[in-house]
Each structure stands twice: as structure tokens, then as C-alpha cells.
């Protein structure tokens, strides 16, 4: 999710992460420390015992949807960000991985291939099969490509190279075009294999853990 980029000049904290260029921004701590009685899907849902290869995923946008839903990090509710400006729709279910955080201060994004649309706010088990490197308005916004681990038609896939080339072309084209009518530039690079996706998820898990550790030390 690359829409919210207003981190400004807030105080940062350095921790020994796998990506040494990443620092912890003070403004992000609000989402980790401001808690309500209701369960928060980002923090309270476990990522799963088989992570980073197989993990829980919270669905924000259903396959075939045109409404851009996203997590409100403070409340934990799913909010309407906008309706897509173009006539295209999301080609697969889209959401985020709980207990992860990326350099854009959002949880890790994931596109989940499966037979059916899933209701917004539901969670499912997904298997990482690839990584789609993406630059959104000049900033890194990579997407994990996954399959539903409990869908008999898709669960056998282990790597993105096993998917039909046309399906990959559809995914690339969607992300290249979905913001064009907003005059926003998105660049999609070549898909990377499953191991790259697993490594990216592990990095995001480590960064999330660093935020939790820092919050406990404050």
C-alpha cells in the first residue's frame, strides 16, 4: 500500500535488521501502542506456525472488486480508500500479512490466487510462490504473489514459474494500469521466485518484531 507516505521528519531508531537501510520511525509506534478492546487484524492475528513460507492473510479486496479497501492502522477496521478510477477490477483476492511491516510503514501486501472471491475482512492461509517488485510513484511497494493453501485447484503450486504466462501478464498489466487515470506512475519489474518472496516476508517479520521490541523498551 503506497498511498500513505507522510512520515515527515519524525524521530527514528536504528536496529540490527537484515536490511541495514531500514530504521524505525517514531510515528509508526502509534499503530503499535494505541489499542482498543476489539481485536486488531494486524497485531492480534498470528501469522501462522509455517511462516514465512505459509502464512495467514487478511483479505481487504475481493477478486473482481473495484473498491479499494485498506486497513485503518489505528482502529483495525477496513476502510474505503477510493473506487478505482479505471474500468479494471482486481484480478485476485488482495490483502496483507499480519505481524509484518515494510519500508512504506504498512504491512506486507499479498495477492492470493484461488478459485473464488473472499469476503473483505476474512483471513485465509496462503503459500508464497513469488515476488512482484513494484515502484509506486517512485517508492518501493513490492507485492507477494501467493496461492490459497486450502484451495484444491491452486494449493499444489510452489513457484511462480509454474503459473501460465498469460496469468502473470494479467497481474502485471493490472498493477501497471490501475492508477493511470489518477496520473500516477507504477512500474512493475520481472517476477522473482518463491525464495525471494519468503525472504521478503521474513524481513518484514523481523522489522515488525523490532517495532514491538522498541515499543516495550520505551
Which active-site residues does the annotation give? Answer: 90
Q: Which long-range contacts (CB under 8 A, 24 or more apart) does 63-67 make?
A: 63/90, 63/91, 63/92, 63/93, 63/114, 63/116, 63/117, 63/118, 64/89, 64/90, 64/117, 65/89, 65/90, 65/117, 66/90
Q: Taking a C-beta distance cutoff of 8 angstroms, is the pair 46, 112 a contact?
A: no
**134, 133, 90: which is closest to 112 by C-alpha?**
90
Say if strands 143-148 and 109-113 run parallel, antiparallel, or are unpaired: parallel
Amino acid at each position: 500500500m503506497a498511498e500513505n507516505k507522510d512520515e515527515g521528519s519524525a524521530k527514528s531508531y536504528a536496529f540490527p535488521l537484515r536490511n541495514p537501510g531500514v530504521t524505525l520511525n517514531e510515528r509508526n509506534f502509534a499503530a503499535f501502542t494505541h489499542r482498543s478492546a476489539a481485536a486488531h487484524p494486524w497485531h492480534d492475528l498470528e501469522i501462522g506456525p509455517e511462516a514465512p513460507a505459509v502464512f495467514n492473510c487478511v483479505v481487504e479486496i475481493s477478486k473482481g472488486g473495484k473498491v479499494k479497501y485498506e486497513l485503518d492502522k489505528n482502529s483495525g477496521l477496513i476502510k474505503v480508500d477510493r473506487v478505482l478510477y479505471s474500468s479494471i477490477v482486481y484480478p485476485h483476492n488482495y490483502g496483507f500479512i499480519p505481524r509484518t511491516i515494510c519500508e512504506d510503514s504498512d504491512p506486507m501486501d499479498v495477492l492470493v490466487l484461488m478459485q473464488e472471491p473472499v469476503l473483505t475482512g476474512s483471513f485465509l492461509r496462503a503459500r508464497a510462490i513469488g515476488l512482484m517488485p513494484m515502484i509506486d510513484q517512485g517508492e518501493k511497494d513490492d507485492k507477494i504473489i501467493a496461492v490459497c493453501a486450502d484451495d484444491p485447484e491452486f494449493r499444489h503450486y510452489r513457484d511462480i514459474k509454474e503459473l501460465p504466462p498469460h496469468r502473470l501478464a494479467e497481474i502485471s498489466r493490472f498493477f501497471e494500469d490501475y492508477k493511470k487515470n489518477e496520473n500516477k506512475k507504477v512500474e512493475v519489474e520481472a517476477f522473482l521466485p518463491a525464495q525471494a518472496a519468503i525472504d521478503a516476508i521474513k524481513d518484514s517479520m523481523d522489522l515488525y518484531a523490532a517495532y514491538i521490541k522498541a515499543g516495550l523498551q520505551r
